[in-house]
Amino acid sequence: MSVGFITLEKGVASGGLNLEYRGRVPLELLVKNYPEFKEFLEEVKEMGWKYLYIDNNCKYVLELSLSNQPCRILPTGVWSGEGVYSVVIDIGMSLPDIKIQEVEEFRINICTKSFPRAVTINLPKKMIMYIHEPLWNWVDEWINDQRSFH
């Protein structure tokens, strides 16, 4: 294949490559790497409640160790006239280990028999995102106004 003055052929990639991502990771991986989240989820179960996993957002790294892996350089900006290229590397059938660097969001719903969505929380920020309406009316918890924080 020829693009401009460069001839692109199949090649090999060798060495180390770290790829940083932001996005969702499997729930099992998240609780495995953060025992405090697993403990919290177990406490919810011990109270006789259930939790419903909603979503997560993490910063994580894939560390690749390449040893003569097949690769190609492909032009991606052909239509715009720009010299933009992509490197395609065959890393095999399985992804390398994912190393979570930071958990930005891990949202769950806590469910009771009476309230299937009693509370929604974001565990890493220790923030309540939603409380079901009847739970706001705890008379002995609020002094004057049930909706204000004094």
Residue 13 lies inside a defined structural domain of this protein: yes
Number of domains in the chain: 1
Residue 143 lies inside a defined structural domain of this protein: no
**pLDDT at site 65:** 85
- Domain span at residue 25? 2-136
**pLDDT at site 69:** 86
pLDDT digits (tens, 9 = 90+) for 5-30: 444 567 888 888 899 999 999 999 99
pLDDT digits (tens, 9 = 90+) for 100-146: 999 999 999 999 888 888 889 999 999 988 887 766 665 555 454 44
Scan for tokens 């910063």, then name that residue: 59
Residue 53 lies inside a defined structural domain of this protein: yes
Residue 65 lies inside a defined structural domain of this protein: yes
Of the candidates 102, 124, 131, 115, the one whose C-alpha atom is nearest the C-alpha of residue 40 is: 124
**pLDDT at site 150:** 36
Residue 25 lies inside a defined structural domain of this protein: yes
Kindly provide the b/e burial profile for residues 106-136, where b requires at least 16 CB atoms within 10 angstroms of the residue's own CB: bbbbbbeeebeebbbbbbbeeeeeeebeeee
- DSSP states of 51-104: EEEEEEEEEEEEEEEEEEEEEEEEES-TTTT---EEEEE---SS---EEEEEEE
Between CA 137 and CA 112 the distance in angstroms is 17
Residue 146 lies inside a defined structural domain of this protein: no
Between CA 36 and CA 41 the distance in angstroms is 9
Percent with pLDDT over 70 in the chain: 79
Residue 144 lies inside a defined structural domain of this protein: no
**pLDDT tops 50 at residue 149:** no
Residue 118 lies inside a defined structural domain of this protein: yes
CA-derived radius of gyration, the chain: 24
SS3 134: helix
